[in-house]
A and B are shown apart, each in its own frame.
Chain A
Amino acid sequence: MIGRSRIHRYSFLAVITAALVPTINNGVVRAQLFDRATVIENARIISMSGPEIENGSVVIKGGRIQAIGSSVKAPMFASKIDAAGMVITPGFVDAWSALGQLRGASGSTVTGKSSDSFDYYAADLFQDAYRNGVTSVFVAPPSGAGVLGVGSVIRLASRENGGVGKVVKEDAALCISLGSRDRAIQRLKTFQKIRKQFKAALAYRESLEDYEEDLKEYMEKLEERRKAKEKEEDAEGEAGKTENDESEDSPDDSKDDDDPPDEEEKPKPKEDKTISGTSRSADSTAFFLGDRVSPKYALQARRFGGEENDDDESNETTEGDSEEGGDGDDEEELEKPEKPEPDRGSDVLLRVIDHELPVRIEANRSEDIFNALDLAEEFNFDFTLVGAADAYLVAERLAEREVAVILEPAPPTELFRPGATRRYSHDSPAILAKAGVSWIIGSGGASSAAARFVGLSAQRAAGVFGEDSWLRIITVSTADALGVGGQMGRLRRGMNADILVWSGDPSEPSSRIVKVYVAGKLVFDAEANGE
């Protein structure tokens, strides 16, 4: 009882803090207290949300677009910027970027997050990104082979002390690479390893389910025994003494996935009986199948072949248990089922299998693309193909499976390339579009420096495509593909103000970006920079 009231007190404090923290940190509130509105007037507005506005204004307040349109009235005390002859567009969103990725950041772990290796203080890099219109990026985990980790969408909003970057969506997508830069046998191994990881994730789920069943059974047995004991005690005339103790040991907790706090109080199984000493001492950061799961469940994992055999398993365990305790022998010790070691890697993959986490698979060669399709089919998830040098060769298959593609810029050379991009075609955007495959463009995961030119890359790809759509590709299309279309990629009332002010038509070579606002804050000003 004492423990519970303490929890209550803490949770009360937590509620207060939770209510206070966003109030203080909330951009809107802070802005209303300290910021005054900015109005950009007389501009041509390409909002990507509705038709172009020939002569309109945008009101920025509290980091957001407070109003946008041709008949917008500027609020009092607003600072006005005359943008006559200028053009306003949304900031660019890069679908697959290495911008700000720390050099030598090692990836290739399921639980890795690209937001962890993002260099928030690479100021020069970000200034150059702004100059070229980039305001948000999907930061891919460092390239490698296998399951690379989770990529995040980062807005290049300014942080304290000159830093840049605010994570908009931390779990934007799980990134997998089939290692198309490696040799054939290595790529095959990579693919098999990834498959194993997915299988292990399913086995892990099964072991968790089994554990819960076993635990339930165990709790029931405990209850039976207690009742039996009670009866005995009743018979002895000492009833009602233990009732208060039970209520603390409520079996409801066992349904929780996380360790219930009072689990510690339960009797622990003896180490020597379960032979699980080795597995438990294993490094918990390694996510190899056998290392994580206690041998009993690992055995099931190994046996797992895709078919549903829950019933068999539970029958077996029941039999086993009943053999041991069938006679109702009081001396027989009940063995509490052991919870499988938590496997965070598998947890991530299970979110993919449950369609809670989008997947991106980097594959360039046609054979790798086929493998990616097989993987997605086997574990029933949807994915976006990245890199995709050979995608145009298998465009029909991709269209059939409704796989979208994120293309990377053309290889830097025309010389024979033995590697992944040896069959790269400059025509692939057009071929993919013709086959009905939707594609966008990213700056590519290889170079942090190249990331700022995603606009030019999109323009280059759009030229092949033959449609005047390059701006659309790197704004709305990319934002929607990343699942952040409600937060960026368009200029609309209430959305974060990620705004580019151009000296003229964005497609005209002579046009420059003169001002960049990210989350309503002026982060780049060509005039102030003396350009």
Chain B
Amino acid sequence: MPNNWLQIQACAVACMWLVLGVSDMNADPVHAIVAGRVVGPDGSMLPASAVVISNGRIEEIVPAKELSGSGRVRRFPNAVLCPGLIDVRSSIGAMGSNIESAKAIDPGASAVDVIDWSHRDFRLALKAGVTTAVLAPAANNLVSGVAVAVKTAGVDTSTRVIRNDGPLAFALGSSVFEVDRAPTSRTGALAMLRGEMGRAKQGISHSRLNAFVNGKLDAMIVCEQAMDVSAALRTLGAYGGSVNFIHTSDVLDLSEELAGTGHGIVVGPYTFEMGSRVLSGAGRFSNASVPVAFAGDMPAASRDSLRMTAALAVKYGMEPGKARLAMTSAAATVAGIANRVGAIKPGMDADLVVFSDDPLRLDARVLEVYVGGQRVYWDDGNR
């Protein structure tokens, strides 16, 4: 399994780094981070706790007073320790155009090919507390290709890729219609999609589509309008291990339709320009027990767009705990990387952000950011 191989690699690099003490600023590796409050796996705030880090992973979480063992301990009695934020739909680090429009069904495409690993956006994202970015090929093809989940910091590219084989990205809406290739209409698009799913069912389509219809590959479906979500639900909803929809504007119409289906929804980024109908979507879904994750769409949106989305969602009816999850573990679930990142619990990568306060508060600052247990950004107060 590629995932395991990556994990092994990550471990190997982390060990090497530990032995050699590569980094000048962190010659002494962090043993534990103690914070006044910690965002727990269910999104709620845990009281003062110590997160013990070992080999780039979270070893255990203990009440602050019970911390034992030797090593460097970072203490933030007034701050909040949060899992590194995950932008589940972004173009962070993408260079140039990734719009491939030759064929409408292009499962072979992968977003990993457009990443510039030293792009300045990675630095901006880190400053905003975003430690994982999920990039998908542009949503202008019915089957756009596979998304890739990468860390915004790390020693080398192999350790930065969390997952490069999915989820499989679909798109529905007028952006997939072209004048010089099929589909040219919504009807055509759905007909084409059903045809391809039928072929996949017989095992004669692309291996990724075959895997998808057999429930072995998860998917995220970018939908322009509410009706595209409904259509996708009818056409693709029955397949796949996990199918999540990406849609922001008309979510209010969909909460009942999606409730109970098990499918999740990705909304955002929310902006100050949006109407209350749009902004209350996230709250409506999460109150209907539909899993909600936020898309930050950095750098097309502002660097703090994830937190803005969360703050606006909470203002318009979302529970704060759910909003914290939507930036972290719910996003990891959508991207299929919840085994690695998105929550502070034993065995997870030590991708952590120290906020001066609740990350849902827009006046909370990012004080320090850790990726794989290594401090990769800190606020030196020098502006």
Contacts and interface: CB of A to CB of B under 8 A. Distances in A.
A456 B273 contact: no
Contacts, number: 89
Given A456-B312, A457-B272, A413 B299 contact: yes
Nearest to A470: B363
A457 B312 CA distance: 11
Given A409-B272, A449-B275, A414 B363 contact: no
B383 A460 contact: no
Q: Which residue among B302, B304, B360 has the maximum number of chain A CB atoms within 10 Å of its CB? A: B302
Interface string A446-462: 01011011001101101
Contact of B273 (A449, A463, A509, A512): A449
A334 interface: no
Interface in B317-336: 317, 319-320, 323
Q: How large is the interface on B (under 10, 10 to 19, 20 to 34, 35 or more residues)?
A: 20 to 34
A128 B276 contact: yes
Nearest to B304: A460
Contacts of A415: 299-300
A143 B383 CA distance: 31
A31 interface: no
Contact of A509 (B302, B303, B304, B314): B314
B9 interface: no
B284 to A, nearest CB: 12
A463 to B, nearest CB: 4
Given A414-B301, A453-B272, A510 B320 contact: yes
Interface stretch (A9-17, A153-161, A367-375, A425-433): A425-433
Given A434-B383, A463-B362, A509-B320, A412 B302 contact: yes
A122 interface: no
Contacts of A328: none
Contact of A449 (B124, B272, B298, B312): B272
A427 B383 contact: yes
A434 B383 CA distance: 9
Q: Which residue among B272, B312, B361 has the maximum number of chain A CB atoms within 10 Å of its CB? A: B272
B274 interface: yes
Nearest to B303: A414
Contact of B311 (A430, A450, A456, A512): A456
A509 B121 CA distance: 28
A411 interface: yes
B193 to A, nearest CB: 31
Contacts of B275: 128, 449
Interface in A380-427: 409-415, 426-427
A413 B362 contact: no
A261 interface: no
Interface string B113-143: 0000000010010000000000000000000
A154 B312 CA distance: 25
Contacts of B358: 508-509
A253 B356 CA distance: 69
Contacts of A427: 383
Nearest to B358: A509
Nearest to A450: B272
A97 interface: no
Contacts of B314: 509-510
A38 B304 CA distance: 41
B185 interface: no
B365 A464 contact: yes
B363 A462 contact: yes
B272 A463 contact: no
Interface string B259-276: 000000000000111111
A460 B359 CA distance: 11
Contacts of B362: 456, 459-460, 463
B227 interface: no
Interface string B367-383: 00000000000000101
A463 B311 CA distance: 14
Nearest to B272: A450
B99 to A, nearest CB: 15
A468 B302 contact: no
A466 interface: yes
B22 interface: no
Contacts of B274: 449
A457 B301 CA distance: 16
B315 interface: yes
B364 interface: yes
A510 B316 CA distance: 10
Q: Which residue among A132, A443, A462, A509 has the maximum number of chain B CB atoms within 10 Å of its CB? A: A509
A312 to B, nearest CB: 55
B383 A459 contact: no
B363 A509 contact: no
Interface string A49-91: 0000000000000000000000000000000000000000000
A521 to B, nearest CB: 22
A415 B94 CA distance: 12
Nearest to B321: A510
A426 B124 CA distance: 11
Nearest to B92: A414
A525 to B, nearest CB: 16
B383 A430 contact: yes
B118 to A, nearest CB: 16
Nearest to B355: A463
Contacts of A531: 317
A100 to B, nearest CB: 15
Contacts of B360: 509
B97 to A, nearest CB: 13
Contacts of B312: 453, 456
Contacts of A131: 276
Q: Which residue among B274, B308, B363 has the maximum number of chain A CB atoms within 10 Å of its CB? A: B363
A507 interface: yes
A464 B273 CA distance: 22
A366 B137 CA distance: 38
A459 B363 contact: yes
A456 B305 CA distance: 13
A412 B271 contact: yes
A132 B358 CA distance: 20
Interface in A458-481: 459-460, 462-464, 466, 468, 470
A222 to B, nearest CB: 66
Interface string B271-305: 11111100000000000000000000011111110
A36 B252 CA distance: 41
Contacts of A411: 302
A466 B365 contact: yes
Contacts of A468: 363
Nearest to A513: B315
Contacts of A410: 302, 304
B243 to A, nearest CB: 30
A414 B311 contact: no
A61 to B, nearest CB: 31
B171 to A, nearest CB: 21
B137 to A, nearest CB: 19
Given A409-B272, A430-B383, A449-B274, A414 B299 contact: yes
26 contacts: A412-B271, A412-B273, A414-B124, A414-B298, A414-B299, A414-B302, A414-B303, A415-B299, A426-B303, A426-B304, A427-B383, A430-B383, A431-B383, A434-B383, A450-B271, A453-B312, A456-B308, A457-B272, A460-B363, A463-B356, A463-B362, A464-B365, A470-B363, A509-B311, A509-B360, A512-B315
Query: Top 5 closest A-B pairs, CB basis?
Result: A414-B299, A509-B360, A450-B272, A463-B363, A427-B383
Given A413-B300, A459-B362, 9 more contacts: A128-B276, A410-B302, A414-B298, A415-B300, A450-B271, A462-B363, A463-B364, A466-B365, A509-B360
Interface of A: 128, 131-132, 409-415, 426-427, 430-431, 434, 443, 447, 449-450, 452-453, 456-457, 459-460, 462-464, 466, 468, 470, 507-510, 512, 531
